[in-house]
A = this chain, B = another copy of it.
Amino acid sequence: MNTINGIMKRPNKKNLPPGRLKITQALKTLLEHKEFNGITTAEIAKNAGVTEALIYKYFSDKRDLLHEVLREYLENYGVQLEWDLKGIKGAINKLRKLIWSHINVYATNRVFARILLVEVRNHPDYYRSETYKLVQKYSDTVLSIIQEGIRDQEIRDDIPPKLIRHGILGSIEQVCLSGIIFGREISPEDLTEDLCEFIFKGIERKDV
């Protein structure tokens, strides 16, 4: 089977031009130790072994390149999540797994986490990008699990589903953020445990 650790290889990754791949890879590598604004196009090109001009052949500008890198991460996470949720029954169980998956991908992909939480957030062009739609799609996934839970009477129906979603995603960010910014360890298991205890106490339906 064409998988690595349960992650499907994207088939189109193969036929992307080599220069393009080198560029995105170079940015990822550089982002491990520097913040995006501190990285120059010259640096990216040099690390990629291509010329600066090539960046502008494949990406409309420097931020667009960042969005594309983010998109790769998001797509991988999308595939991963789909895999992770397979065979799980019940909305609460699905949410628990999703929370773990989310925290885990932040814990193991600091670059991904940092791009999403600190690099793109304050820039309006991000919200207009194609990449942002992937985040919205993910957001929709979370919402539909919650709605499934309400329908199946696992989750209280007196809190607006979107508020629940906001609570969940906000909490995840909150517990991960300082770990990401200050480079501290993030323990997916522990954080998931703490978070679920806290969240589910509030949203789970107390059967009559």
Contacts and interface: CB of A to CB of B under 8 A. Distances in A.
A29 interface: no
Contact of A174 (B117, B118, B170, B178): B178
A173 interface: yes
A39 interface: no
Interface in A164-188: 170, 173-175, 177-178, 181-182
Nearest to A178: B174
Interface SS majority for chain A: helix
A176 B94 CA distance: 29
A42 B157 CA distance: 55
A121 interface: yes
A178 B173 contact: yes
Contact of A182 (B37, B38, B121, B182): B121
A181 B178 CA distance: 10
Contacts of A35: 122
16 contacts: A35-B122, A37-B37, A37-B38, A117-B181, A118-B181, A121-B182, A170-B178, A173-B178, A173-B182, A174-B175, A174-B177, A174-B178, A177-B177, A177-B178, A177-B181, A181-B181
| The 10 residue pairs across chains A and B that have the minimum distance between CB atoms | A174-B178, A177-B178, A177-B177, A173-B178, A37-B37, A177-B181, A118-B181, A121-B182, A170-B178, A173-B182
